[in-house]
Chain A
Amino acid sequence: MDNIVPLPTPSCFLSDSYIQYAWDSTSLGYLKTCPRLYYYHMICGYIAKDESIHLRFGSEYHSAIQDFEIHRASGLQFEDALRETVRLLLIRIKDWDPDITTKAGTYKNPRTLVQLVVDYFDNYRQDSAKTIILENGRPAVELSFRFALDFGPTGHPETQYMLCGHLDRVVTINDNVFVIDHKSTTTTLGDYWFNQFNPSNQMTLYTFAGKVVMDMEVKGIVIEGAQIGLEQFTTRFARGFTYRSDDLIDEWLNDLEYHLNAAEAFAEAGHWPMNDMSCDKYGGCRFRDVCSKNPSVREHYLKSDFIQLPPEEKWNPLKSR
Chain B
Amino acid sequence: MPIDEPQTDLTALMSLDPLDLSTTPGTDGRRNLDAIIAYQRKQRLARKGGAKTKRATSDAPAVDIKALLGRIQKPAMTNLFPSKPNKDRPGIKPTAPTKGFIRRL
A114 B103 Cβ-Cβ under 8 A: no
Q: Which positions 68-101 of chain B face chain A at CB distance < 8 Å?
A: 68-70, 72, 74-75, 77-83, 85-86, 91-97, 100-101
B102: CB under 8 A from chain A? yes
In the complex the two chains form, what is the Cα distance from A232 to B101 in whole Å?
43
Contacts of B80 in A (CB 8 A): 261-262, 265
Given A111-B61, A147-B97, the answer on whether A134 and B56 have CB atoms closer than 8 Å is no
Contact A148:B103 (CB < 8 A) given known A80-B23, A107-B56, A254-B91: no
Complex CA gap A118/B8 in Å reads 21
The reply to whether the CB of A312 lies closer than 8 angstroms to some CB of chain B is no
Report chain B residues within 8 Å CB of A163. 94
Minimal beta-carbon separation of B7 from chain A (angstroms): 14
In the complex formed, the residue of A with least CB distance to B62 is A111
Given contacts A154-B83, A265-B78, A268-B82, contact A148 B100 (CB under 8 A): yes
Closest residue of chain B to A251 (Cβ to Cβ) is B91
Produce 1/0 per residue, A39-71, CB < 8 A to B.
000000000000000000000000000000010
- The answer to whether B94 and A97 have CB atoms under 8 Å apart is no
Specify which of A90, A107, A254, A265 lies most central, judged by the most chain B CB atoms within 10 Å of its CB: A90
A240 to B92, CA, bound (A): 29
- B22, A151: Cβ atoms closer than 8 Å: no
Q: How far is the CB of B5 from chain A (nearest CB, A)?
A: 10
CB distance from B58 to the nearest CB of A (A): 6
Q: State how many angstroms separate the Cβ of B75 from the closest Cβ of chain A.
A: 7
Q: State the Cβ distance, B34 to closest chain A Cβ, in Å.
A: 7
Q: Let me know if A266 and B77 touch, CB within 8 A.
A: yes
Q: Could you tell me how many residues of chain B have their Cβ less than 8 Å away from some Cβ of chain A?
A: 53
**Interface size, A (range):** 35 or more
Interchain CA distance A160-B37 in the complex, whole Å: 48
Contacts of B61 in A (CB 8 A): 111
Which residues of B are found within 8 Å of A84, using beta-carbon distances? 23
- B80 → A minimal CB distance (Å): 5
Interface 1/0 per residue, A206-238 and B, CB below 8 Å: 001000110000000000000000011111000
Given contacts A106-B55, A118-B37, contact A253 B92 (CB under 8 A): yes
B105 touches A142 (CB 8 A): yes
The residues of B that contact A138 with a CB separation of less than 8 Å are 105
Q: Which residues of B contact A (CB under 8 A)?
A: 21-23, 30, 33-34, 36-37, 40-41, 43-44, 47, 52-58, 61-63, 65-66, 68-70, 72, 74-75, 77-83, 85-86, 91-97, 100-105
